[in-house]
Amino acid sequence: MDAFEAIRTRKAVRQYTDRPVPDAVLDRVLRAALQAPTGSGSQAWSLMVVRDEARRREVADLVIAGGAQYFAEMRPRGDATPEEHETACVAYAEKILPTYRIAPVWVMGLLVPRHNYPERMAGGGYTDDLLSVAFAMENLFVAARAEGLGTVPTSAFQRFEKDRLRAIVGLPDEIDPVLVTPLGYPESFPEGLPPALKRTYRGWRSLVHDDAWGNTRD
């Protein structure tokens, strides 16, 4: 699969099988991730690979519970009481994400501060470090797709419980698990857009401006 095909067919995968990922395949994907550009060449990043069964399960439980919390914040409550709404959101997260518990690998993209920027550049340096982790993770998602592996960038689901996520793998407070993803062979790769996104999706021509703002290709 060439790079364009891998980029085009990479999709957020939320249903996994328990098929093991061979070590050599995993290493190829991890190395591709860390070939991303990094601001000032700082390498203010690391990848946490979670394969231990008990720890994987803890991460999955946390992400699924975080998902329920995310839905409770984002979805309209309607006539339901807060308790009914919460129960419905837990049930929904359990319905759509249960295979997170069998995915054979989780990877966390970590921002590891290197304290290498002078004080007056700390803000910009932080942004560069954050962008660099994102680039590494996108490399990982695309390389995984080329290997037939699914991923899903996940931030919101663990945002509520970052300290608990840190505790599972022994991360010091200053290390930020920016994004996490299951990594595993999917039941299938999603195609097209889910209906909810289709309604608001902006096509590429409306997002490309030639020479001046507003001069889009649509």
Site size with ligand FMN, rule: CB under 6 A: 10
Residue 103 or 117: the one with the smaller Cβ distance to ligand FMN is: 103
Torsion angle, alpha carbons of 132, 129, 152, 168, to 10: 140
Q: Is 90 exposed, middle or buried (0-12, 13-18, 19+ CB in 10 A)?
A: middle
Q: Considering the rule CB under 6 A, would residue 99 count as an interface residue with ligand FMN?
A: no
Q: Considering the rule CB under 6 A, would residue 11 count as an interface residue with ligand FMN?
A: yes
Look-up of token digits 């690979």: 49
Residue 73 or 210: the one with the smaller Cβ distance to ligand FMN is: 73
Residue 117 or 176: the one with the smaller Cβ distance to ligand FMN is: 176
Residue 110 or 117: the one with the smaller Cβ distance to ligand FMN is: 110
Widest CA span in the chain: 53
Q: Considering the rule CB under 6 A, would residue 153 count as an interface residue with ligand FMN?
A: yes
Q: Considering the rule CB under 6 A, would residue 157 count as an interface residue with ligand FMN?
A: yes
What single string gives the DSSP state of each residue in 15-57? Answer: -B--PPPPHHHHHHHHHHHTTS--GGG---EEEEEE--HHHHH
Residues forming the site for ligand FMN (CB under 6 A): 11-12, 152-157, 190, 197
